[in-house]
Structure 1
Amino acid sequence: MDRSDYDALDAGAVAAALGDLADAFSLVLLAECDSTNSRLLAQLPPDDGRVHVLAADVQTSGRGRRGRVWQSWPGASLTFSALWRFAPGSPVPAGLSLVAGLAVARALEELGVDGVQLKWPNDVLVHGRKLAGILVELTPGRGRTPAAVVGIGVNLSLPPDAQVEYATGVTDLAECLGRAPGASQLLGLVLVQLHRLFEVYAAAGFSALRGAWQQRNAFADLPVSIIGEAEALSGTCAGVDEDGALLLHTPEGLRRVLSGEVSLRLA
């Protein structure tokens, strides 16, 4: 498909959506990329005080958590990765994927999307159906400023024959809003929210954003199962703690589950 056949990413339109924050970002926009996360991790940009963003109209080898593939079609989704650096010498704090999810949720709500929910630790849902996914990968430490690559994919307008597997179904912004917003506008809106929330996060930790995440918790007080733990684990979702770990009411008491390679499912 020719780039003129769909709403390709445009640097000017992204900058317009960023507004006063345009100078805080370095943007690289590609027609096609294997994986924006992989590319950023393999070729870390210099630390010039800006947030480096790599976005692609199409990813040919997009990745999700636990080895999953993020499927991509021209004009069907917004896919990008952003490199976030933290204060030298500080450990990369926990809960990054939850903060990123909250940023996506707020950007969607700003567009007028109703029923936005967050599924621990990395999915954004609308009325229970998946709209966006997040993949956070830490960069190697040793003497470097701690940093993380935050990859985000948002469904804009999936093709009619797309077959995307998700336990509770998938949706896109064309369905949620009647018409998908431009990828450039959406990228700018999400980056603005990421910038705002990561500033709060760096200063006060996840505890400052925990309440906002809890308000959108898709599985609040519902029976859930954890897949990927050494032992089978089921209980009632009690939200998250101040480090972003999942809290689970079980017959044996309150359990704390770290994200790692586990997956949350409705029981």
Structure 2
Amino acid sequence: MERMPADDGTVHVLVADRQTAGRGRRGRQWQSWPEGSLTFSLAWRFAASTPAPAGLSLAAGLAVARALERIGVPGVQLKWPNDVLVNGEKLVGILVELQPARDRSLAAVIGIGINLSLPPDAHVEHHAGVTDLARALESTPPSRPALLAYVLAELHLLLDTYSVAGFAALKNAWEQRNAFADLPVRISSDHESTDGTCLGVDDDGALLLDTASGVQRILAGDVSLRPLGGETA
């Protein structure tokens, strides 16, 4: 974000062996351990005058989910708006930040963190259920460079589609992996919470919640998703 590379027609990727100040949504810290995580950011540029992209974090999550499925991870799910789960436990976190350019174009910095092998004493704040790739795979996980290649290939493919057709073109694929489809959920913001049934997402990536007062559109950025009567998910 501070040293945005020049627009030279390529997708720039920055990989960290370990993050010491990783960030998640709502100011939370993303934790990583040496050789225990794959953490990287990529800069994706949109054409000048493109409106603010909607549903981009969902598109990125879908790309990561597809990469994990390609290497044989079973039970991959997507939690709105930007987490990838395996059988209900968090494996991947995603943070998307937009940066306008002088030519009125937009660049998105997509930060992704994947748990590879967490230390036995690892404690991840705010998340009761967390897993890693070593537990999610029945076989030996790929190397960090190989996993990065799988994820970048899927990101390039889906972001190309997203740039042309928007999230609507990816919506059905996201819905197929929706961790909370048709389940009772609680949407919590800093000041209030709303209960209802998760109906999925719309073409802009907003969550559709069936509540006592009707269907509500919940926008990304200031809410969290919790199963009713359960632990934070």
TM range (shorter): over 0.9
- Give runs of aligned pairs for residues 25-104 of structure 1, distance below 5 A: 41-104=1-64
Superposed CA deviations along residues 216-243 of structure 1, whole A, max 9, x for unmatched, are: 0001111111111654311000000000
Q: Quote how far apart the aligned CAs of 1:166 are.
A: 4.6
Partner Cα separation in structure 2 for residue 229 and residue 141 of structure 1: 31
**What amino acid is the match of 1:90?**
T
Partner of 2:130: 170
Aligned partners of 1:173 and 1:181 also within 8 Å = no
Structure 1 stretch displaced more, 164-173 or 130-139: 164-173
Partner Cα separation in structure 2 for residue 147 and residue 187 of structure 1: 21
Corresponding residue SS for 2:181:
coil
Q: Quote how far apart the aligned CAs of 1:152 are.
A: 0.2
Partner of 2:141: 180
Corresponding residue SS for 1:66:
helix
Q: Quote how far apart the aligned CAs of 1:138 are.
A: 0.4
Partner of 1:195: 156
| 1:126 maps onto 2:86 in alignment | yes
Which of the two has greater helix per residue? 1
Provide the identity percentage. 65
Aligned partners of 2:25 and 2:221 also within 8 Å = no
Q: Quote how far apart the aligned CAs of 1:68 are.
A: 0.6
Partner Cα separation in structure 1 for residue 8 and residue 127 of structure 2: 42
Report the TM-score when normalising by structure 2.
Answer: 0.94
Aligned partners of 1:157 and 1:180 also within 8 Å = no
- Give runs of aligned pairs for residues 16-31 of structure 1, distance below 5 A: none
Identify which of 89, 94, 115 aligns with 1:155: 115
Structure 1 stretch displaced more, 88-97 or 60-69: 88-97
Partner of 2:173: 212
Partner Cα separation in structure 2 for residue 260 and residue 230 of structure 1: 14
Partner Cα separation in structure 2 for residue 188 and residue 144 of structure 1: 31
Measured on the aligned residues, the alpha-carbon RMSD in Å equals: 1.2
Partner Cα separation in structure 2 for residue 155 and residue 167 of structure 1: 13
Partner Cα separation in structure 1 for residue 185 and residue 28 of structure 2: 21
Partner Cα separation in structure 2 for residue 141 and residue 265 of structure 1: 36
Superposed CA deviations along residues 60-92 of structure 1, whole A, max 9, x for unmatched, are: 111100011111110001000000001111113
Gaps of 5+ in 2: 229-233
Stretches of 4+ moved more than 6 A in 1? none
Partner Cα separation in structure 2 for residue 133 and residue 247 of structure 1: 22
Corresponding residue SS for 2:205:
coil
Superposed CA deviations along residues 120-179 of structure 1, whole A, max 9, x for unmatched, are: 001000000000000000003553421110000000011111111354411111011143
**What amino acid is the match of 2:216?**
R
**What amino acid is the match of 1:226?**
I
Superposed CA deviations along residues 168-207 of structure 1, whole A, max 9, x for unmatched, are: 4111110111433211111111010000001111111111
Partner of 1:241: 202
Report the TM-score when normalising by structure 1.
Answer: 0.82
Partner Cα separation in structure 1 for residue 101 and residue 2 of structure 2: 14
- 1:174 to 1:51, Cα distance in 2 relative to 1, 3 A: same
Partner Cα separation in structure 1 for residue 21 and residue 156 of structure 2: 27
